[in-house]
Amino acid sequence: MLDGMYCDECGCTGKKIHRRYREHGYCGSCYAREFIRRQCPNCFNLARLPKDIPDSICRSCEAKKPCVRCLVSGKPVGKYTEYGVVCASCAPYFRPKAPCELCGRLSNRLTKVKRFGDDLRRCERCAISDHGVCQACRRYRMLGEYNGRKLCKLCCSGDLKLCEKCGNTISAGRGKQCEICYWETLLKNRALNNCALLGDRLLQVAFLDFARWLGLSSGFKKASLVISRHALLFEKVDTAWGHFPDYPELLKVLGADYLRRHSKILEWLQENKGLVIDECLKKDLIEEERIQNLLSGIPRASKAISVISQYETLLRDKLRKGRISVRTLRLLLTPALALMRLCELENNGLPSTKQVKRYLNISPGQKASLTSFITFLRKEYELEVVLPKNIKCTKLRKKFLEKELVILTEKEWGNTELLYWCKYALELFHGLRLSMKSVKELIKNREVYNEGIIINHKCDRVFLPLPKCSGVNQLCQNSSLT
């Protein structure tokens, strides 16, 4: 039955729907019978309200309610639902999805576009299929074909203008400035706006100097897009010092992770302000931050915190004596923390040989780093913990290789996917664990068949199967892997 031709109240067909109230349609006769003229309980104005719902309010009061989806009041009403009023922005989300009559994609925003000259209901993507970036003025507009180029209406006219700033010739659709001058002006305006947030006069001059340097080194477009983000560091410097201090103090207060996000400012300080960056100090501070992040993951009420604290004290003593570096300290703490977390999950106690073996089966590469912690446990807690001599991680590696090969079968193949397939297949099927460079050299001289490829490794001919995906064999035949 067509919408609008069926009354939900009386069930009659062929009648025009006069009013819809809470997703319920009323014809003219039912509306006159069910809606009586009385005072709205909210604004006390006269309005036709349903007689069976005493607390109903008029449409004006209903429209002032917040949208049931976005909870914003005062927006134009798009739909009245059984749940309440819905604004015009959220109304499409309450429509049933239907297929686009052009591409078949499901959408709840189907619309008819008059300029296409048809009655097809299009999705939001097909509705702007004739829009794009003009190849002349670089503006996003409705495009047309002109001498094999996609141009907007203004650029299709062929008229030329002069840039008001540099005097270069530009297309008609560009506006008053060329693209370079536009981004340069935008960078200048944004730099001045951010400069007003700084209190120190010398720091304001330094920020404008940095913005100019950033535009010349990175391009005015990129600089204008990131200049406001870099202004945050200048604000922190203005609050803390009023000028840029030496690198150790800057590193100590702001941290290496924060400074890494503003590497362009450090580069500018090196070139123009003579800032000297201590790489050793930087690396040590980064390692210290990583150590603190590791330690912060331990629950304070657990047994692990006391054990790890004693172990860290031992390692710190070795660090002061110069026997280990900060990086080595972090590498020794990492497996110790992971092992203690495993113990917390199981019995909230100290590690046993069985738990050490279980952990090394999961992380076999940590055996050497865990030796120091096991020695510490034997000495301080008199535990009879033994490191296993052989770690059976072959099964884990095999599962990893099988998983990676399955993932590759689901991807669209290129040269990279072919290289990784050959690398994993050589290790899984033939026990050859080779580097990517070696695999690339091996498969340059390959023989391609329907079921796979054959390559020569030393004196042996090795067969590698290929997945039954479309285009894989053609890729193996045509790819040069250069």
Q: Are strands 131-133 and 121-122 parallel, antiparallel or unpaired?
A: unpaired
What pLDDT digit, counting tens, does each position of 223-270 carry?
A: 999 999 999 999 999 999 989 999 999 988 998 889 999 999 999 999
What pLDDT digit, counting tens, does each position of 445-456 carry?
A: 888 887 888 888
Measured CA to CA in angstroms, residue 328 lies from 179, 287, 366, 369 at distances of 52, 9, 13, 9
Contact 25, 9 (CB under 8 A): yes
What pLDDT digit, counting tens, does each position of 26-50 carry?
A: 898 899 998 999 999 888 899 999 9
Contact 230, 264 (CB under 8 A): yes
Q: What is the dihedral of CA 210, 215, 216, 218, to 10 degrees?
A: 110
Query: According to the model, what pLDDT value does residue 365 have?
Result: 82
Query: What average pLDDT does range 462-473 have in this prediction?
Result: 79
> Per this entry, what is the length of the chain?
482
Measured CA to CA in angstroms, residue 433 lies from 280, 360, 388, 420 at distances of 35, 21, 24, 12
What pLDDT digit, counting tens, does each position of 143-199 carry?
A: 988 888 999 999 988 888 899 989 899 988 888 899 999 999 999 999 999 999 998
Query: According to the model, what pLDDT value does residue 355 have?
Result: 87
Q: Is the pTM of this model over 0.85?
A: no
Query: What average pLDDT does range 100-121 have in this prediction?
Result: 92
